[in-house]
Amino acid sequence: MIIIECILTLYVREILIPVKVGEVVSRFTGDFESFDPASSEHDLPPSSEPEDVALFWVNRACAQLNQEIARDYMNQDDVSQIDPDEPCPVVPSLDELSDMCDGCSLFGLLAFYCPTQLDWHEICLKQDISIADSIYNLQRVQYFTAEHFPSDVCFLTLEDFLYLPEPLVPNFLAFIADLLFLFEIQPVECVTAPYLRLFPEGYGDEYQPSK
């Protein structure tokens, strides 16, 4: 068991490198050309701890998705459908790993990187999310990774996700590292690189939406 945990830890630290993740974020926020990891002005994870790096990446990706959600929400074809008393849906910000247990941010991460396969409207985003809502989000994450990834990287059960006991934190971080690897380092076919989608003018013919 100790050997497995050591292997997981090594893998996670190999993928969740603060500077590399900072570069990833700078691309989809439009700051890549001016990105300088030595500068205190640029956005980097608060520490080199894998948990902080994972939270940094997921939070920044979901914040970018929230901007897209807000644009879509306000640009609906039928403006009369907008309820002034109903706030625009938002993927909540995370303070710790256990905040991912409702599945909102994980589902949001998939929708951000694979928008041709998943629509953000499919995410259950409520101010008071129930266990049933969380299970729905998490099941969608499980189904998607099993169907669209070359190998199933989601070995955690619904119960593992919902309660995230301390012994399973390395496994959860390994799952986040797998997502980063399959989205940014060796993108799978279903991925549309966010920076190409959001800033096509800066990358010319590189923009090829996923089929």
pLDDT, tens only, 63-117? 999 999 998 888 876 555 666 667 889 999 999 999 999 999 999 999 999 999 9
- Percentage of the residues of the chain whose pLDDT score is greater than 90: 65
Indicate the residue type of 177.
A
- Could you report the per-residue pLDDT of 137-175, keeping only the tens digit for each? 999 999 999 999 988 889 899 999 999 999 999 999 999
Q: What is the C-alpha separation between 205 and 208, in angstroms, rounded?
A: 7
Question: What Å distances lie between residue 102 and 12, 126, 150, 157, CA to CA?
Answer: 22, 10, 25, 13
Mean of pLDDT over the chain:
87
pLDDT tens for residues 193-206?
998 888 877 665 55
Give the CA distances from residue 47 to residues 12, 16, 56, 93, 166, in Å, rounded to whole numbers and listed in that order: 14, 11, 10, 18, 20
From residue 65, alpha-carbon distances to 70, 99, 143, 171 in Å are 9, 17, 21, 26
Q: Are the C-beta atoms of 63 and 69 separated by less than 8 Å? A: no
pLDDT of residue 165: 94
pLDDT at 6: 86
Q: d(Cα 199, Cα 60) in Å, to the nearest integer?
A: 16
Task: Tell me: pLDDT of 16 over 90.
Answer: yes
Nearest to 91 by CA among 105, 72, 80, 102: 105
pLDDT exceeds 70 at position 208:
no
The structure tokens listed for 160 are 């593992």
The radius of gyration of the chain from alpha carbons, rounded to an integer in Å, stands at 17
Give CA–CA dist 136/122, Å, rounded.
Answer: 10
What's the confidence (pLDDT) of residue 106? 97
Task: Determine the pLDDT at residue 207.
Answer: 43
Q: How many CA atoms lie within 13 A of 181 on its CB side?
A: 16
The pTM of the full predicted model, rounded to 2 decimals, is: 0.88
